[in-house]
Structure 1
Amino acid sequence: MTGPVSLVVAISSRALFDLDASHRVFEQEGVEAYCRYQIEREEELLEPGVAFPLVKKLLALNARIGDRGQVEVILLSRNSSDTGLRVLNSARHHGLDVSRAAFAGGSSPYRYVAAFGAHLFLSTDQSDVRLALEAGCAAATILPSRVTTRTTDDDGPLRIAFDGDAVLFSDEAERVFRAQGLAAFNATERAAARSPLSAGPFKGFLLAIQQIQALFPAQDSPLRTALITARGAPSHERVIRTLRAWDIRIDEALFLGGLPKAAFLKAFAADIFFDDQEVHCDAARWHVATGHVPHGVANG
């Protein structure tokens, strides 16, 4: 390493904390009522949201990394600074070291993702996520889930799982599958096995993770990754060779050949899973925190 490494994750307030009651006020009574509601309750602490356990584990990596690098979580919010005070108070109470924030006063905060140098943006607002993806940043919509009620392994490694096509890789192969079917997809991928796939929106985030992992022996890393894909043989070879060409290590690779992913995500004990297809996300979100990546042919 030539210097300290960094991993920067930007997150919306609704992904980090449970703001469902506040959001109902906004939808039913409007902006002014919402502002009053938040200011009147700014000393009332918010409960953790779906992405809270993920953020807690991300920030805990700093104790292991030391002066070799830093993991930073930045709050990006449509709130004003007045209404955002409750969120920052809650973060401090819960022991989350969040020192940087952007309160966009009702506008989309996606334009600050690049300004902060974020490798990933997580939000509950799909329109903000799409704008971030179009701007070239890895981004996902955090889906409602019950995962915050389950017992989490706070002391275990942070486990991040990815789908392949249209997430880590481009959707070029997925387009063949949708247009011509499985036989044509397998034939095309077999013929192109030694030609690396083009990068998808999450390649940069995976590279940033790889830099953190490189600080530790593989058997003692506080961060583990998994590729969990519907691909099976013979289309697996192109994926393996693509990751090799990118010089990226994936700790676990599961080629499911079309099997449902939820049970495998649960077995991997993923802290979060990223997939471009809503059908996979809907099944996964009851077992693990799930980020839908609205990118590629599956999303119009």
Structure 2
Amino acid sequence: MAAGLGDKLVVAISSRALFDLRESHEVYENDGVEAYRQYQISHEDEVLQPGDAFSLVQKLLALNARLERQLVEVVLVSRNSADTGLRVFNSIQQHGLEISRAAFSGGSSPYLYLKAFGCHLFLSTHVEDVRGALENGFAAATILSGGAQRDAADELRFAFDGDAVLFSDEAERVFQQGGLEAFQNRERESAREPLGGGPFKPFLAALNRVQRAFPQASCPIRTALVTARSAPAHERVIRTLREWDIRLDESLFLGGLDKSAFLEAFSADVFFDDQPGHCERASKVVATGHVPHGVSNEKVAN
């Protein structure tokens, strides 16, 4: 962990995930870097509207006030320069967000600074930055537009897919290569053999530490596993989490059913999944982060 941040849960957020920068991004895409710089400077006193991850960040930072100590840190990690990023920092202040640290990489990939900050999670709208973070061992997701926001609720609810997100993609590879029967046979035979950790295991462990700072009966953070697995493939998951000493408040074994209605019922603030199709459907009802990791994304990458 970086000096000065102690044992905090550290979340890095890109400027386009935090704020709605579609208008200025169009200037960048159509007219280039200098036009974008001039646009941001001329509009730097105009407050940016919330982006797709704004509500999540707001709720994460509110945990510190509930605990009366700083257990959560959110840092801005952006491809902007400090010059063009001034508008973003002005908007952070206007919205009252307790974000004081930032890395403006001036067009380069900012994921290189995640280790220095000691980050547990990186949220961005830039797919290649997310891939780079995942390849370097960080939990990371591409935030998709369109998900519903739960601004009014005090509770912070995270939902996770299992294979290739919380767990390694070893079982998913068996499923894709051999089908459902081969997958279920393998999971039945390996029921007492813990699964390998996926990219979101360290983030969930860090989130658990924050949960344990609250009395269990009144903890404002709730987590759920939402997986296409069903019996007999459930046992290995349960034993793996027990081996890791990681708590999930709810576990939904859906046997291939569409996850969207269940995510809406759980009232997730954000859902993380590796499969693009699942993410596309989920993003219609909850804020969704695509995790471009594992066998399901090798085909997409190629």
Alignment TM class, shorter chain as reference: over 0.9
Label 1:71 to 1:206 Cα distance change in 2 as closer, same or farther (>3 A): same
Letter in 1 for 2:53: A
Pairing 1:15–2:17 present: yes
Partner residue of 1:64? 66
Change (3 A) 1:235 1:146: closer
Q: What is the Cα deviation at residue 157 of structure 1? A: 1.2
SS at match of 1:8: strand
- Correspondence for 1:266: 264
TM-score, length of structure 2 as denominator length: 0.95
In structure 1, C-alpha distance between the alignment counterparts of 2:147 and 2:67, rounded to whole Å = 30
**Aligned twin of 1:230:** 228
Q: How far did 1:147 drift?
A: 2.2
Provide the residue aligned with 1:214 in structure 2: 212
**Cα deviation, residue 215, structure 1:** 1.1
Counterpart CA distance in 2 for 1:248 and 1:223 is: 14
Aligned partners of 1:217, 1:228: CA distance in 2, in Å? 25
Over aligned residue pairs, what C-alpha RMSD do you find? Answer: 1.0
Query: Deviations 1:102-123 (Å, cap 9, x if unpaired)?
Result: 1000111000011100100000
Would you identify which runs of 4 or more consecutive aligned residues in structure 1 move more than 4 Å? Answer: none
Structure 1: gaps of 5 or more residues: none
Q: In the aligned structure 2, how far is the partner of 1:118 from the partner of 1:283?
A: 29
Q: Counterpart amino acid of 2:67?
A: I
1: CA distance, partners of 2:256 / 2:205: 27
Paired letter, 1:74: V
Deviates more, 1:44-53 or 1:214-223: 214-223
CA distance in 2, matches of 1:218, 1:267: 22
**Count, aligned residues:** 293
Query: Which whole-Å CA distance do the structure 1 matches of 2:229 and 2:88 have between them?
Result: 41
2:33 is aligned with what amino acid?
Answer: V
Q: Deviations over 1:38-77 (max 9, x none)?
A: 000000010000000000000000012223x420110000
The SS at the match of 1:39 is helix
Q: Deviations over 1:160-193 (max 9, x none)?
A: 0000000000000000000000001000000000
Structure 2: gaps spanning 5 or more residues: 1-5
In the TM superposition, what are the counterparts of 1:135-146 in structure 2 within 5 Å? Answer: 135-146=136-147
- 1:254-286 per-position Cα deviation (integer Å, ceiling 9, x unaligned): 000000001110000000000000000000111
CA displacement at 1:5 relative to structure 2: 4.0
- State the partner residue of 2:3: none
- SS of 2:286's equivalent in the other structure is coil
How far apart are the structure 2 equivalents of 1:171 and 1:89? Answer: 41
Q: Distance in 2 between matches of 1:234 and 1:92?
A: 51
Seen in structure 2, the aligned counterparts of structure 1 residues 120 and 179 have a Cα distance that, compared at 3 Å, is same
Q: Say whether the 8 Å CA contact 1:5–1:212 is kept in structure 2.
A: no
Residue aligned with 2:8, SS: strand
SS in 1 for 2:226: strand
- Residue in 2 aligned with 1:252? 250
Of 253, 276, 279, the match for 2:277: 279
* Paired AA for residue 152 in structure 1: D
SS at match of 2:206: helix
Contact 1:79 1:106 in 2 (8 A): yes
- Identity across matched positions, percent: 66
SS at match of 1:121: strand
* Matching residue of 2:42: 40
**Cα distance change on mapping 1:41 and 1:56 into 2, 3 Å:** same
The match for 1:200 is 198
Residue correspondence of structure 1 range 147-158 to structure 2 within 5 A: 147-148=148-149, 152-154=151-153, 156-158=154-156
